[in-house]
Amino acid sequence: MRDDDAVTQIDRLLTTAQTYPARRAPEKHIDRHPRLNVAVVACMDSRIDLFDLLGLEDGDAHLLRNAGGVITDDVIRSLVISQRALGTREILLVHHTDCGLQTINEDEFKSDLERETGVRPAWAVEAFADVNADVRQSLQRIRHCPFFSDDVVVRGTVYDVDTHELHVVD
């Protein structure tokens, strides 16, 4: 890992963060319980601005992001805490077209990592070909998880990175 004295993008981000309190409008304390009682699970893709896309404000929803918006054990852990301890009642999945996971061969990726590092990852890459089928699989993982209350509402969507449209997956 690189750890030198060169100015990095992280340094630039941290410099910008120092001005955040002055740029931020004064407001009342925001409760840790999301106002809309919604949790959103989305891909980490930088082309998706969830706040703008969904019309969210600070404090409206819990946002969880990872490669592919995959429903991993850790995402389930976070969603269950969100629901059971912080009052969310709905979960929205936001996957998208042209996802990087659609370009990865899982076995080759893991083999490359193993060749380079000497260790094969224990975690699944969760590569996929069909984004709609991937959303349906994610919905099933949530619906079959015993830790969510029976009345949780779960919806899956696909964001089109070219047209900027959000389509519901049945």
The answer to whether residue 5 is domain-embedded is no
For the chain, how many structural domains are there in total? 1
The answer to whether residue 47 is domain-embedded is yes
pLDDT, tens digit, 9 for 90 and up, residues 66-85: 999 999 999 999 999 999 99
* Complete edge-to-edge strand list for the sheet that includes strand 38-43: 61-66, 38-43, 90-96, 153-159, 166-169
The answer to whether residue 102 is domain-embedded is yes
The confidence band for 2, taking pLDDT boundaries of 50, 70 and 90, is: low
The answer to whether residue 157 is domain-embedded is yes
The answer to whether residue 19 is domain-embedded is no
The answer to whether residue 8 is domain-embedded is no
Q: What is the pairing mode between strands 90-96 and 61-66?
A: unpaired
SS3 79: helix
Domain span including residue 144: 28-169
The answer to whether residue 1 is domain-embedded is no
The total number of residues written for the chain in this structure: 170
pLDDT, tens digit, 9 for 90 and up, residues 72-124: 999 999 999 999 999 999 999 999 999 999 999 999 999 999 999 999 999 99
pTM: 0.91
Q: What is the CATH number of the domain that holds 39?
A: 3.40.1050.10
Taking all residues of the chain, what is their mean pLDDT, rounded to a whole number? Answer: 94
Name residue, tokens 């409760």. 31
The answer to whether residue 72 is domain-embedded is yes
